[in-house]
Structure 1
């Protein structure tokens, strides 16, 4: 047994004395230090002592930090990597360093950074990422850095910041973020308000300035004039062409999403049907009314047609098109959504009774309900159901559909006839 213990101590001593050939290792002020700066290194060398707490790799020629680059040094508290040529920090390069308190990645070329690795660095107090090529920071990048005191992001390529980016940094006392090419649009106004109200020290405030738009170029963020901004709002509606109109099988369902907000929101549709989910992020019908290839189903026929004015048409509505139709609008200030649930039934299937039960159920709850015959404006999928009833066959004729926006004439696609009864019912509760 004594011999075994001696072997263990020898092995431990050997680990403590290990050091890469290109580096100098030793103890100073109670810290185990590995100095590998100014060695023209092009990769992180192997062979560090397991108990090293401070590692300097500054002023080398490292092009990247791969996964597991510091696996041999799990007790690191300080890591200095400034003045290299690092472009990429891969996922898993920094995550194992749960004891890290100081990290210097400044004066590199970093554009691709594994932000999720920061979630494991709960002890981090200093983070220097200035003088890089960063153009984006995820909203939750700093969510686990409650101990961080100093953050340096100056001299990067940041155009905007997600609202609440710095909210998790409860201990933050120093922030450098000057000399970034900020787009001074509505999405940056929260940062102006936060910077004016925070107790965090923010030096060189006049150099936190607008790069665009041109009329505001050079304007310090703190002196940015009021901008006409508003979060998105949406109103999803549909208009039967006339009460009690009868249509032949394969009729058209028309929805319209009326969107408001500044800057102009981006509109997309989310459709959930028995066939699965469909996302439409941009118009698939051009300004001349021609259907783009992206709107065509496998049989070459258009299934969903999205227009630039916010209208959505289903040219051949049937059971496979039943489901929830959602209109979503997003701009720099937020998002809004409105949905409607569309069902198809034939007389005698009990659809009318089912809708009646919905009315009666809401009445029991003490909520008022009403029907709108000509125009329906739902606010959500739960209390808004469109039930379409089918009747007999008939002869088609050309149709013009108005869906809450500019008139859309659909030659050769949309036909009205006196054959199917189109009945729109909704229950709006208050």
Structure 2
């Protein structure tokens, strides 16, 4: 029995001392080191001892890092991969290294990187990714790196940085990000403000400069002049005094979303109906109401028609079109959203002719604008009251004005079609 135990210990000891043939393994200063640098390797060799804490694979010919590349060495604290030919780092290549403190990927060709793997490297203190081909960093890339002290991203192809990218790095003391081709648009202004106010050491700030637009080329970010920038704002035509507007089957529903901001925001419609969610990148129809190339259509026309000016038209509103209609505006500085809930009217309610007569009567009396359930008195001549109406369904082309808006301007009020039913209003 004693002999058997000794044999087991000998086998285990031999396994601990194994080392890939091209590499040198040993102990130094209390660290278990595997040195595989300058070996002309084209892949991560297998067979490392499980207790390796430092691994050098620098100055080889590694073309990439595959999932599970370092599964054998989960106790790694330092990993050196500089001066290879790495173009991509696959998801799962680095994630198992939860004890890693130093990671050097500099002087490679990395354009595709598994940023999500960094979320598991909470012990990381040094990250070198300089001299690569990185063009994009996700906003949450560094969310778990609260121990990170030094970050090197210089000499890459970064054009922009998402606001708050470095906010999670509460221990950061050194950041190198010079020599990147930054687009000096509104989206980079936050970084200028952060860099000027931060206690983090940021060397070579004169080389953190604009590449575009042309008029700003070569100007250091710290001396960037003020830019005309504003976050998006949204106004969606709906009635403030009730959660939803009630419609009757067969009507045309028209909503309008007024958007402001600089740079000009992108407008999207999010529509939640009983049949699911529809997302529309506006516009999907031209000013004539005809479907644009690539738009999803039924019988040649989109079910929801989004115009470039912010109007949304549903030509044949029915039970399946009930739901929440939201317009979302986004630009480099953020986003804004506004929504309205729309439902079919219950049977037995008055027809649209009666409502139309009441509206015209109130208008003649000068008592403001009649809505389905209340009156609105403009506070002054400078106020614009925008009202969205419903008409019976008809050819979409007939309800579209020359400017592409599915309504026509008449005495400061937006009209749609012949028989009118007031849907909503707002001030702006």
Aligned to 1:77: 77
Alignment of 1:151 onto 2:151:
yes
- Structure 2 spans left out of the alignment, 5+ residues: 240-246, 352-372, 379-383, 409-414
Deviation at 1:276?
Answer: 1.4
The 1-side partners of 2:422 and 2:13 are apart by: 85
| Equivalent residue runs for 1:261-300 within 5 Å | 261-292=261-292, 294-295=294-295, 297-300=297-300
| Equivalent residue runs for 1:26-41 within 5 Å | 26-41=26-41
Q: Which moved more, 1:301-310 or 1:68-77?
A: 301-310
Question: What secondary structure sits across from 2:167 in the alignment?
Answer: coil
Question: What secondary structure sits across from 1:14 in the alignment?
Answer: helix
The structure-2 alpha-carbon separation of the partners of 1:398 and 1:172, relative to structure 1 and needing over 3 Å to count, comes to closer
Question: What secondary structure sits across from 2:264 in the alignment?
Answer: coil
The 2-side partners of 1:248 and 1:4 are apart by: 87
The 1-side partners of 2:2 and 2:185 are apart by: 73
Aligned to 1:365: none
Question: What secondary structure sits across from 1:33 in the alignment?
Answer: strand
Deviation at 1:84?
Answer: 0.3
Q: Which moved more, 1:285-294 or 1:23-32?
A: 285-294
Alignment of 1:422 onto 2:406:
no
Aligned to 2:360: none
Q: Which moved more, 1:7-16 or 1:201-210?
A: 7-16
The 2-side partners of 1:282 and 1:337 are apart by: 14
Question: What secondary structure sits across from 2:233 in the alignment?
Answer: strand
Residues 237-263 of structure 1 deviation map (CA, whole Å, 9 limit, x = unaligned): 269xxxxxxx99633211111100001
* TM-score of the aligned structures, taking structure 1 as reference length: 0.82
Q: Decide whether the 8 Å contact of 2:206 with 2:220 is kept in 1.
A: yes
Q: In the comparison of the two structures, how many residue pairs are matched?
A: 389
Aligned to 2:254: 254
The structure-2 alpha-carbon separation of the partners of 1:277 and 1:334, relative to structure 1 and needing over 3 Å to count, comes to same
Alignment of 1:92 onto 2:103:
no
Aligned to 1:332: 332
The 2-side partners of 1:251 and 1:34 are apart by: 74
Q: Decide whether the 8 Å contact of 1:88 with 1:112 is kept in 2.
A: yes
Aligned to 2:64: 64
- Structure 1 spans left out of the alignment, 5+ residues: 240-246, 352-368, 379-385
Deviation at 1:287?
Answer: 4.2
Aligned to 1:356: none
Q: Which moved more, 1:250-259 or 1:127-136?
A: 250-259
Q: Decide whether the 8 Å contact of 2:67 with 2:92 is kept in 1.
A: yes
Question: What secondary structure sits across from 2:5 in the alignment?
Answer: helix
Q: Decide whether the 8 Å contact of 2:315 with 2:394 is kept in 1.
A: no
> Which runs of 4 or more aligned residues in structure 1 lie more than 6 Å from their structure 2 counterparts after TM superposition?
373-378, 393-398
The 2-side partners of 1:99 and 1:248 are apart by: 63
Deviation at 1:302?
Answer: 3.3
The 1-side partners of 2:105 and 2:374 are apart by: 62
Aligned to 2:9: 9
Aligned to 1:234: 234
The structure-2 alpha-carbon separation of the partners of 1:130 and 1:347, relative to structure 1 and needing over 3 Å to count, comes to same
The 1-side partners of 2:182 and 2:163 are apart by: 14
Question: What secondary structure sits across from 1:252 in the alignment?
Answer: strand
The structure-2 alpha-carbon separation of the partners of 1:117 and 1:275, relative to structure 1 and needing over 3 Å to count, comes to same
Alignment of 1:311 onto 2:316:
no
Question: What secondary structure sits across from 1:134 in the alignment?
Answer: coil
| Equivalent residue runs for 1:362-377 within 5 Å | 371-372=375-376
Deviation at 1:282?
Answer: 2.7
The 1-side partners of 2:389 and 2:5 are apart by: 81
| Equivalent residue runs for 1:204-219 within 5 Å | 204-219=204-219
The structure-2 alpha-carbon separation of the partners of 1:373 and 1:308, relative to structure 1 and needing over 3 Å to count, comes to farther
